[in-house]
Amino acid sequence: MKKTSTRLADGRELIYYDLRDDTVRDAVDRRPLDRTVTTSEVRRDVLLGDSVAIASHRQGRTYHPPADECPLCPSQGDRLSEIPDSSYDAVVFENRFPSLAGDSGRCEVVCFTSDHNASFADLTEEQARLVLEAWTDRTSELSHLPSVEQVFCFENRGAEIGVTLGHPHGQIYAYPFTTPRTALMLRSVATHKEATGGENLFDAVLERELADERVILESEHWAAFVPYAAHWPYEVHLYPKRRVPDLLGLDEDARSEFPQVYLELLRRFDRIFGEGEPPTPYIAAWHQAPFGALEEFDGDAAVSRDDFALHLELFTIRRTSGKLKFLAGSESGMNVFINDIRPEAAAERLREVASS
């Protein structure tokens, strides 16, 4: 992998990740852009104990442009985009309309391929490995920013999810706090560690799931399963078998095996609802340990970053052909999920649609 960092016309950073070491990236952003101005701030909800990003400047962001005006495609002739070069393997750049910025963190866009009509599932294993290396590199770089406490790599896919740009891409949020979902996990880990005299909860969960009927696929270094208490109609958790706190902790064997496993999962998701159905909308979310101090989760059995387990959660809001799972009163009002599909049935379906 070759990494080349440059700047866009408005000062934002753009980074090319190339498969070939001899690739030269010297294209200049020719757009007449003013410096980016953001109004992002983070406000604390003292009742719920969580934080809300206020980012009113995002109202003017690009919204469902036609394919020939896609800002994530390479620049061609007089059609100038966010990527100055005429081709690329993978690219990461600072979001022009970030939810978090400055002392409130940072937001980046990750373009998986220059092919506008592709999806992550269409990538080769070599391309998927390059994206993994980009996620890892950005996690490392962002973790050193003084305002960043947790790094979140994710992909939103499909208009039903709320995606406004059709080009295959994901995002990276660098939060100035530990996210509420991670905080809940860490509290559970601390409670379990204290109650069991030191047992790791993530290890216990993975052992239990691998012994159950909800396993989707298992390789030497990775395991994928529908969790016992799945929140979403079709939800899969992907764990490296050796517990590590973040993407940086993966060894070479796990990195080499990841593309095959992950691409198979994504291709199964596209086959859940049968032939002729539109691509399955999904969210793919990497859960990594925060980089800040974990004192607030200390009890008689203190937890550290090494107690957390890196894993990916992949889920769709489509519950059956033509029908979506909406977060209504119970889910949105009280955060109590109601799942319309038994996790065991979802696991069976995901095994049925395995590649031949």
List the one residue out of 161, 213, 220 whose CA is nearest residue 350.
Answer: 213
The residues, any chain, with a CB within 8 Å of residue 27's CB and separated by 6 or more, are 75, 84, 85, 86
Catalytic residue among 167, 169, 237, 311: 169
Nearest to 263 by CA among 123, 166, 136: 123
- Please enumerate in sequence order all residues whose Cβ is within 8 A of that of 35, keeping only pairs 6 or more positions apart, or say none: 10, 11
Angle at which helices 252-269 and 125-143 pack, to 10 degrees? 120
The pairs formed by 182-188 with CB atoms below 8 angstroms and a separation of 24 or more are 182/150, 182/287, 182/289, 182/290, 182/308, 183/296, 183/297, 185/287, 185/308, 186/294, 186/297, 186/303, 186/307, 186/308, 187/297
Q: Is 169 known to be catalytic?
A: yes
What is the C-alpha to C-alpha distance for residues 228 and 222, in angstroms, rounded to an integer? 18
Q: Which residues are catalytic?
A: 169
